[in-house]
Amino acid sequence: MGKNIIKSNLNDNPSSGLDAIFNPTSVAVIGASSKFGKWGQRVLVNIVSGGFKGRVYPVNPKAENLCGLPVYKRIQDIPEAVDIAFICTPAKTVPSILEACAEGKVKGIVAITSGFRETDEAGKRLEDQIVSICREKGLILIGPNTMGIICAYASLYGMGAVGRPKRGSVAFISQSGNLGNQLIHWAEEQGVGISIFVGSGNEAMLNIVDYLEYLEKDPHTSIILYYVEYIENGRRLIDVAKRVNRSKPVIILKGGRTEAGKVASASHTGSMGGELNTFMGACKQAGLLQVTVPSELLDLSAGFSSLPLPKGNRIGIVTLGGGWGVVTADECNEKGLVIPSLPDGMIKKIGQHLPPFWSKGNPVDLVGTENRDVPLLAVEELLKWDGIDAVISLGIDGIHEAVRVMIDTTLQADPLASQEFMDKVEGFNLEYEKKYIHRIVELMEIYEKPVIGVSLVATKETVRSVPGKRYSGVFYQSPESAVNVLAMMVSYQQYVAQF
């Protein structure tokens, strides 16, 4: 299909026309509808409710008003050039719509419509036809068969599914729309900020490397996530990723790693993936960070977007309980991280605030102390020491949630329990957690070393931002997640240190 060749009026660079799409001032929804659940309704509603800053033009030959907006019968009737047209009409209508878009001076197309290469040979021929039209007319095409895009800094949520992650520095390109949608929802829930999301669909014109070239220069993006099942030009990926990865970590999840996955991939994208060993070798050459499950993509995006990079692999551990520290130390050792012994001076200083039976080593076991100053004191002592490159802190975040459950249980069981007193206890613990997070962020800015947290109990947000600060608090649900992220950050630091 020659996906990497685009009409010369785009300067022979497929990514050169993407700025109008990712920084739009006007969009049209072709096939806009009021019928609940239809793609034309879902995309239009999400764009309008998402607060897009520019102008929105619904296009439908039979409607007069949609979402409080006047409707245009044809794309050519819109009184200005349009940056993006979202196409939500049946596949057979797309060629004529593209011709009309060229007449209407549309710059870019997001083809939500399915029914192309992923279906059968006739669908492949139709896809070839729409690519030919786009090249001839100088149109940039995302898709077809895509869930849509998010341009967070333009407040554009041009998706078939609802997701409103906050603005941030993580870009995510996915060859699977549903997986991308899931990660967008996770990002929203867990406080991970997004710059751009693209469901690349069938990649008829633009492939993942084209997006990578664009994101290399995007000022809002500092971390790039990929879900891929098929790569057409592996050599180009290696060349581009080597360059981009020196300043922006590229994290990739490869689908179709097994025979069953390959068959599933072919049925849903219309392409067969390459050999896994070849792919993994190419990623290693380019320094890409490889993960095996979707949740790892989000875990790593939280860490890379919110923490300073560690300068080495020496880890200090602070834990409210001994077993937690043992498990974390094991995980660190198994992933190539070192747990150094503490100097006598540090042991003496921390020991002044703990019972004599504390661990007197690394991990620093706080033996369930009720002294709320000691966890931060221990973390800072570790950060001060030049023998430590990062700290894992287990069990401070989540105390408020654990206490809240205890309060609810007490009030249910004890009719004499004071609601006023319980409210004060809950407020005290909530305030303590906020101060703890604020101070952890301050310490990271002072010492330029990451502090990765593990929550005492399950909490909603992984990332806790602090107004006015470069870094954020990051708290995972398990030691293994925290250690895995830290090991990946160390690996990336070692890669960039070569240059």
In order along the chain (499 residues), what is the average pLDDT of each group of 10 residues?
37 69 96 96 97 96 95 96 97 97 95 94 96 95 96 95 92 91 92 96 93 95 93 82 93 68 44 60 84 93 97 96 91 97 95 90 86 91 97 88 88 92 89 93 98 87 94 96 97 91
Distance CA 159, CA 150 (A): 7
**For the residues of 169-238, what is the DSSP string, one character each?**
EEEEEES-HHHHHHHHHHHHHHT--EEEEEE-TT-SS--HHHHHHHHHH-TT-SEEEEEES--S-HHHHH
Task: Tell me, rounded to whole angstroms, the distance of Cα 101 from its chain centroid.
Answer: 32
pTM, 2 dp: 0.88
The predicted structure's pLDDT at residue 250: 95
CB 140, CB 205: distance < 8 Å: yes
Q: Rounded to whole angstroms, what are the CA distances from 429 to 397, 423, 436?
A: 10, 10, 10
The predicted structure's pLDDT at residue 14: 56
Three-class SS of residue 159? strand
**For the residues of 370-382, what is the DSSP string, one character each?**
--TTHHHHHHHHH
Distance CA 259, CA 274 (A): 11
Helices (H), 341-418: 344-351, 374-384, 399-413
Instruction: Give yes or no on whether 8-305 and 309-496 have one common fold.
Output: yes
| Residue linked to tokens 């009309």 | 100
Topology annotation, domain 309-496: Rossmann fold (3.40.50)
CB 172, CB 442: distance < 8 Å: no
The predicted structure's pLDDT at residue 256: 55
Distance CA 214, CA 15 (A): 6
| Torsion sign, CA atoms 228, 234, 240, 246 | positive
The alpha carbons of the chain give a radius of gyration, in whole angstroms, of 26
Distance CA 25, CA 298 (A): 29
Superfamily (CATH) of domain 8-305: Succinyl-CoA synthetase domains (3.40.50.261)
CB 364, CB 378: distance < 8 Å: yes
Domain boundaries, the chain: 8-305, 309-496
Q: Rounded to whole angstroms, what are the CA distances from 260 to 15, 255, 264, 269, 273?
A: 33, 10, 6, 14, 12
The predicted structure's pLDDT at residue 15: 61
Strands across the sheet containing 106-111: 55-59, 26-30, 82-87, 106-111, 140-142
